[in-house]
């Protein structure tokens, strides 16, 4: 993958990044409280800079990252209050971007369907991040 040279970011580091956000910016991704489809044309590439990835190395013998989701409180994939659980889908496929103006942290991954490629983004709310140790 193209993100091989991005540094792996832990839940703690992601939390630290997300808490640096301030409000003096109108970047388009602020609306992505839950996962939103963001076509390339709407992605503010001049403001957003890749700072790392949540994508872990595959354990030996495992063909694919898990598609299991983490919703202990009955949330759904696209709930705005769904936990950001870095070991679970789709967070385990995300790269991490920061806005150069307001320092907001945004997660982004690409979903490959049978006939489509869809880019999804979610603004990181630090309150929603679940530490790696929460995994059962």
Token code pair at residue 29:
């991704």
Chain residues 70-89 in contact with Zn ion, contact rule CB under 5 A: none
Residue choice 32, 96, 99, 106 for contact with Zn ion (CB under 5 A): 99
- Measured CA to CA, the distance from residue 101 to residue 117 in angstroms comes to 28
Identity of the residue, 14 or 85, whose beta carbon is nearer to Zn ion in the bound complex = 14
CB < 8 Å & 24+ apart, contacts of 37-42: 37/118, 37/119, 37/120, 38/108, 38/119, 38/120, 38/121, 39/119, 40/119
Euclidean distance between the first and final Cα of the chain, in Å? 29
Residue choice 6, 28, 50, 102 for contact with Zn ion (CB under 5 A): 102
**CB of 126: closest distance to Zn ion in angstroms?**
16
Q: Is 96 left (phi over 0), alpha (psi -120 to 50) or beta?
A: beta
Identity of the residue, 21 or 130, whose beta carbon is nearer to Zn ion in the bound complex = 21
Identity of the residue, 102 or 134, whose beta carbon is nearer to Zn ion in the bound complex = 102
Identity of the residue, 25 or 51, whose beta carbon is nearer to Zn ion in the bound complex = 25
Establish if 19 lies at the interface with Zn ion (CB under 5 A).
Answer: no
Establish if 101 lies at the interface with Zn ion (CB under 5 A).
Answer: yes
Residues of this chain that interact with Zn ion (CB under 5 A) are: 25, 27, 99, 101-102
């Amino acid at each position: 993958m193209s993100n091989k040279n991005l540094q792996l970011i832990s839940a703690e580091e992601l939390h630290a990044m997300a808490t640096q956000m301030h409000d003096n910016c109108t970047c388009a991704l602020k609306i992505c409280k839950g996962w939103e489809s963001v076509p390339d044309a709407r992605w503010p590439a001049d403001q957003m800079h890749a700072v790392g990835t949540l994508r872990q190395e595959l354990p030996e013998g495992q063909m694919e990252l898990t598609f299991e989701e983490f919703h202990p409180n009955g949330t759904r994939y696209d709930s705005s209050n769904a936990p950001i659980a870095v070991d679970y889908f789709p967070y385990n496929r995300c790269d991490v971007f920061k806005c150069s103006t307001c320092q907001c942290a945004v997660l982004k991954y690409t979903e490959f369907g049978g006939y489509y490629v869809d880019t999804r983004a979610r603004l990181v709310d630090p309150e929603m991040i679940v530490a790696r140790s929460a995994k059962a």
